[in-house]
Amino acid sequence: MNKWWNASLAVLMTAALAACGTGNSPAEGQTAEGAQNGAAAGSQAGGEKIQIKYWYAYGDKIEEAKKHLVEQFNASQDRIVVTAEHQGSYADLHAKVQAAFAAGNAPAVTDLEIASTGVFARSGMLEELTAYADKDKEQLRLDDFIPGLMGNAYVDGKLYGLPFMRSTPILYKNVTMLKEAGLDPQGPKTWDELEQYSRTLKEKGKSGLTMPADIWFYEAFVAQSGGTMLSEDGKKSAFNAPEGVEPVAFWKKLVEEKLMKMPVGDEAGATADKDWANSLTAFKFGSTAGVSGSLAIAEGNGFEMETSFMPANKSYGVPTGGCQLVITSKSSQEEKDAAWEFLKFMTSKENTIYQHKHVGYLPTRVSAVESEEIQAHFKENPQFKVAVDQLEYARPRPMETAYPEVANLIKSAIEKAILDPKASPQQTLDEAAAKADKLLGK
C-alpha cells in the first residue's frame, strides 16, 4: 500500500462520522494567503460585492472553526462576502443541497463528506475544478495536499473538491483506568491484546469497550484482516469472505463474554462516547476530529487520555473520512470564481494548521505537517499526531453508487449476528451479500 493513499465511497444519504472538540487559538499570520486570494478576487471587474453562500455541517468547535475562517476570509479582501449557514449533520446537509440544487438555489460552496463525491459529481451537481487548479497551480500547490487525502477528490479522473476537514478513526484510551488495572498504557496494539485487556478490566469490575455497529469501524476491521468490502470491479460483495466475517465473529465473542458492549439505535455512538467519558469503559473508537474534545472531557473528569492506532489483526488498517469543499455547478461564473477564491483560502497551509489545532482534524497539506508549528504541537500534544502517522495504513473506500444501501444492509447484518444468539456471522453476512449483489449489479 502506498503511504498516504486514500480513496472514497460515493454516499449520498449515509450519515458520516465526525466528532467535535475543543482546541487551541488560531495560528499567527493565517490571513496572509487570504490577502493574496483576495487580491486575485479584487482583480475582477469592479461593481457591487459578490455575495455567495457556504453551507456547512456540524456544530460546537467544528462550527466555531468554520465560522472563524469565514470571518477571516471576509476581512481579508473587499470584493467577496461569504455567508456561512449551518445545515446539521452531513446527511442533513447533503439532502438540503440536493433539494436546493433541484430548486435552483443551491449554495455556491458546500462541505461534502468525502464518501459522497462520486454521487454528487456524476449527477452533475458539482463544478469540475481542474481548470481552476491549472490556472492557479503556483498559488494552490495541488501537490502539497497529502496524496492519501486526494484520491476521493477525483471522480473519473477529474478534480471536484479540495480536502478540508479530514479524519480517520483512532483508538481513544483512558490511561488512568489502564494503570489502575495494571495494564501497559502503550497497548492494546492487536485484537488479541484488546481481548486480553478487556478480560483484565472485567476482572476489575470495569469494561473494555462500548462500540456501535458502525460501517466506518467495520471497514477498518476488515482492512486489518486483509479483506475488502467489494470485489475489485465493485460489482460484487467481498465482505462475506473470511476476512469480513472475522471481525463480526470477534465482536460477537466479546459481547457474549461481556467484554464489550454493542448498543444499537440512533444513540449508539453517543452511548459509546458517554461510557468512555464516565470511565465505564477504557476504550472507544472515534474520529481524530474528537481529539480536542476528548482531551477536554478527560481533563474535566479527572483521567489521563492517550490515543493510538486502531489495533491490528493481520496488519493495521483504516478508512478515512471527513469533508472536502466543493463548488456547485449551477452558480453563475462570477459566483464560481468567487467560490474558488474561498476554497483556496480555506484550504491554505495556515488555515489547515488552525483547524487541526482547534478541532483535531488532519492537517491536509504536507507543508503544514512539516511546519515548525505543527511539529511543536505534536511534541506537546502527541494525541494529535496518531492519525497523521496512521495514514500510512489508510485504504480506499468503495466508490459505487449503490454502496450507501449496501452499507445499511451490512450494519443490519452485523447487529443481527451479534444480538441474535441463533444467528451466525457467516449466515447474516451471506444474506446481506446476496441482497447487495443485486444492487451492485444494476
95 in the same domain as 67 = yes
What's the sign of the alpha-carbon dihedral 295, 110, 168, 412?
Answer: positive
Residues 6+ apart with CB under 8 A from 393: 1, 223, 309, 315, 316, 317, 318
Q: Kindly report, residue by residue over 303-316, the tens digit of the pLDDT.
A: 999 999 999 999 99
The pLDDT value given to residue 45: 45
Q: Is 1 part of any domain?
A: no
DSSP 333-358: HHHHHHHHHHHHHHTSHHHHHHHHHH
Chain position carrying cell 477564491: 341
What's at 227, amino acid-wise?
A: G
127 in the same domain as 58 = yes
Nearest-CA neighbor of 221 among 339, 316, 153? 316
Domain count, the chain: 2
Count of CB atoms within 10 A of residue 326's CB? 27
Q: Are strands 109-113 and 158-159 parallel, antiparallel or unpaired?
A: unpaired
The pLDDT value given to residue 46: 52
339 in the same domain as 295 = no
The pLDDT value given to residue 273: 96
Helix axes 60-76, 349-358, angle to 10 degrees: 150
Q: Which residue ranges of the chain lie beneath pLDDT 70? A: 1-47, 396
228 in the same domain as 264 = yes
Q: In which domain, by residue range, is 153 found?
A: 32-167+321-392
145 in the same domain as 191 = no
425 in the same domain as 276 = yes
CATH number at residue 297: 3.40.190.10
Q: Is 338 part of any domain?
A: yes
Q: Is 67 part of any domain?
A: yes
The pLDDT value given to residue 47: 66
Q: Is 86 part of any domain?
A: yes
